[in-house]
Every structure is written in C-alpha cells, then in structure tokens.
C-alpha cells in the first residue's frame, strides 16, 4: 500500500514541478534555471514545515507522511529530502558527516552527470555535441 500512496503523491508533486517550471520560464525566461531553484527552495521549506509541524507535532499517520513527504514533496523535488537529511545530520551533532554528505552529493552528482554526458556523446554517439 505504501508504494501506491507514494506513487499517487509523486504524480501530484511532479505535475506541480512541471507547472512551476513552465511559469518560471514564461516569467523570467530560460537563460537561468529559476524554476528549478524555486522548486528546490520551496520544496525544502515545505518539507521542513511538514516534518516539524505535522509529522512530529500532530502525530500524522505513516500513510499521510508517505503521501505528503516522500510522495508530493519528493515528487516536487528530491532536493527537499537531501536538505532534510543534511539538517538532521547537523542537528544530531554529526557535522563532519553533514559536510561530507552535502559536498559529496553535489560534487559526485555533478561529476556523474558529466561522465554520463561524455559516455553518451563520445562512446555511444547519442548526440552531436
């Protein structure tokens, strides 16, 4: 049942992400990824509110937590989960682990993307770039 709940929520979050991206592109153009930046910041803010106010303070059921956090907000942006996990490591006093998690995720994630672009372009001949 948990997979169905997450599936439904992530569809809603993904549709919301698409809407924000379209609105940002129409409003500010496509030269800078304003939509993605807004999604990441807004998603992180909403994740913090949901976790603190609803999940911990109001005893939200596991199904609702899955639907809202992993589903809707996770479908909107996984950056919100990344932000939450980094904050939890920091708050638990694992400052070095938080730093390694953040820097490792960013550096390795971007590095993996460049490796995949290279492989796709030069070894697999996927694009003309």
- The binding site for Na(+) comprises 74, 77
CA 97 to each of CA 47, 51, 90, 92, 93: distance values in angstroms, whole numbers, following the listed order? 21, 21, 8, 10, 9
Rounded CA separation 17/11 (Å)? 10
Contact 50, 73 (CB under 8 A): yes
């Amino acid at each position: 049942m948990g997979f169905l709940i997450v599936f439904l929520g992530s569809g809603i979050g993904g549709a919301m992400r698409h809407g924000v991206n379209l609105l940002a592109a129409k409003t500010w153009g496509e030269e800078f990824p304003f939509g993605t930046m807004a999604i990441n910041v807004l998603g992180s803010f909403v994740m913090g509110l949901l976790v603190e106010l609803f999940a911990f303070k109001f005893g939200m059921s596991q199904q609702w937590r899955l639907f809202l956090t992993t589903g809707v907000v996770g479908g909107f942006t996984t950056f919100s989960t990344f932000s939450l996990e980094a904050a939890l490591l920091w708050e638990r006093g694992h400052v070095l682990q938080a730093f390694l998690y953040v820097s490792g995720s960013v550096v390795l994630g971007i590095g993996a993307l460049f490796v995949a672009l290279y492989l796709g372009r030069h070894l697999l001949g996927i694009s003309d770039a």
